[in-house]
Structure 1
Amino acid sequence: MTWTNRRISVSDDTVIHFPGYESWNSMTEMATVAADVNKERVLCRVSLNILEDKFGVMDDTPVRCIALHRAEIQEAARKLIQSESFEDDGSILIRSGDI
């Protein structure tokens, strides 16, 4: 599996898989969920503010919140990947309106 900082071309044949990897960055207050898109890693990020707004997470439990709401977060990421809504660094940023 390779990580990419370029935009991935998405087609009807695109395979999107979520391997169950997530991380929390307390400095940026961003959670990251990994997606594999045609065997290339795409980082899907969501902020603490969004987690709090959508799921009522406390600032000490963001990773648990991600685990509890994995399906909703992955579905939002999948839609953003399919619409090729990549950031300049190749990642996906999940916003409030996406979940």
Structure 2
Amino acid sequence: MISFPRLESWNNLTKMATVVAQVDRKRVLCRISYESLRAKFGASDDKFMQSVAQHRTDIQEAARRLIEQDDYEADGSVLIQTSDLQ
């Protein structure tokens, strides 16, 4: 079972937003880059997390598909690319 608690953060060094998925009692970090937020949702330079909140459902669905496909990064996280967003 996959659920998404409202845990999100922004990393200014990597320019990535992270949302958390709960997968069978384990946390999986699901990351999406500034470039993807801007390309897909038109996120402005100072409103990254507002864009994540506005498009939470789309981001979570992309993360869910990647998790179900076992498409994990070496560190166990999931990287959501622009092409993963519908």
Under a length normalisation based on structure 2, what TM-score does the superposition of the two structures give? 0.97
Q: Which has the higher helix share?
A: 2
Q: Which amino acid aligns with 1:34?
A: V
SS at match of 1:73: helix
* Residues 35-89 of structure 1: CA deviation (Å, up to 9, x unaligned): 0000100000000000000000012111110000000000000000000000000
One of 23, 44, 47 as aligned partner of 2:30 = 44
Matched, 1:91 2:77: yes
Q: How many percent identity over aligned positions? A: 52
Runs of 4+ in 1 over 6 A off after TM superposition: none
Unaligned runs of 5+ in 2: none
Q: Name 1:29's counterpart in structure 2.
A: 15
Higher relative contact order (CA 8 A, sep 6+): 1
